[in-house]
Amino acid sequence: MELWQSIILGVVEGLTEFLPISSTGHLILVSTILGIKQTETHKAFEVSIQLGSILAVVFLYKENLFKNIELWKRLIIAFIPTGILGFLLYKIIKSFFNPYIVSFMLIFGGVIFILVEKVYREKEDRIKDINNIPYMKAIFIGFFQSLAMIPGTSRSGSTIIGGLLLGLDRKTATEFSFLLAVPTMFIATGYDIFKNFNNFSVDNWINLVVGFIVAFISALFSIKFLLKFISKHDFTPFGIYRIVLGVLFLVLVYLGIIRID
C-alpha cells in the first residue's frame, strides 16, 4: 500500500467512524476501488487506524471520560457483549471482510434506519442524560453494538438504533454511541495489533501512523457535524445514503467497472 492510499483511507475512516454508515464497510469498499487486496495485514490496518478516530472522542469528551465514574459503569456493561462475542468469533468475523457482505449490510441497515425513523417519536419521557441510562438498557445497547461485527452494519448505527428503540433521545443515543466506541475500539484495536504484530513491516507501520493521524483529524470534524446535524434532522438521509451506496457498488461490480479478485 502506498502512502497516499493510507491518507485516503485515514480520511475515509475518520469521516465515517461516527456516522451511521459503517467505517469498516467504507474502508473495504474504498480499498477495493483502490485495488488493495484484503490481506490479513491490510485488515489489521483497517481496524487499527480506527484508534485515531477514537482518540478524537477522548479529546472532545475528556472531562466526562476522566471524571464520570457512573458513565464508565455503563460503558463497561455495554461493552461486555461485544467483548465476549468478538473474542470467541474473531476468525469468523475476519472472514466477513468482503465487499459483497458490506454492500448487502449497507442496504439492509439503511432500510432499518428508515423504518425506525418512521415509528420514532421524540417524547418528554425519553432519556436525555447518559448518566440516567439504566444498566439493563446499557447492556442491551451493547448487544446491538455486537451486530456491527459484521462489516457494513455500522457500530455507531447499531448502537444509535438500539438507543432509540430503548427510549433514549437522538442526542443521548448518539453521544453514548460515541463514548461506547472508546473501550470497544481500544480493546479491539489492541487485540488486532497484537495478533498481527509480526505481519507489519517498517512501511506498514509508517502507513499505520499516517492513517492514524489523518483519521484523528477528520474524526473531529465528523463528530461535530453529526451532533449539529441531528439537532435539526433525523437519520433518514443516512439510511437513503446507505441503500444508494450499497446498490451502486453492486451494480458497478456487475458491470465489471469494479473488479473483485
First vs last C-alpha separation in the chain:
16
What is the mean pLDDT for each group of 10 consecutive residues in the chain (261 residues)? 92 94 88 84 80 93 92 95 86 80 93 92 86 96 92 92 94 95 85 70 81 95 95 94 94 80 60
- CB atoms < 10 A from the CB of 53, how many? 28
pLDDT of residue 202: 66
For cell 423504518, the residue is 115
User: From its phi and psi, is residue 43 left (phi > 0), alpha (psi between -120 and 50) or beta?
Assistant: alpha
DSSP the chain: --HHHHHHHHHHHHHHTTTTT-HHHHHHHHHHHTT----HHHHHHHHHTHHHHHHHHHHHTHHHHHH-HHHHHHHHHHHHHHHHHHHHTHHHHHTT-SHHHHHHHHHHHHHHHHHHHHH----TTSB--GGG--HHHHHHHHHHHHGGGSTTS-HHHHHHHHHHHTTB-HHHHHHHHHHHHHHHHHHHHHHHHHHHGGG--HHHHHHHHHHHHHHHHHHHHHHHHHHHHHTT--SHHHHHHHHHHHHHHHHHHHTTSS---
pLDDT of residue 120: 85
pLDDT of residue 214: 96
Residue ranges covered by each domain of the chain: 3-254
For cell 477528520, the residue is 218
In this structure, what C-alpha cell is assigned to residue 207? 502507513
Beta bridge partners of 168: 127
| pTM as predicted | 0.88
pLDDT of residue 93: 80
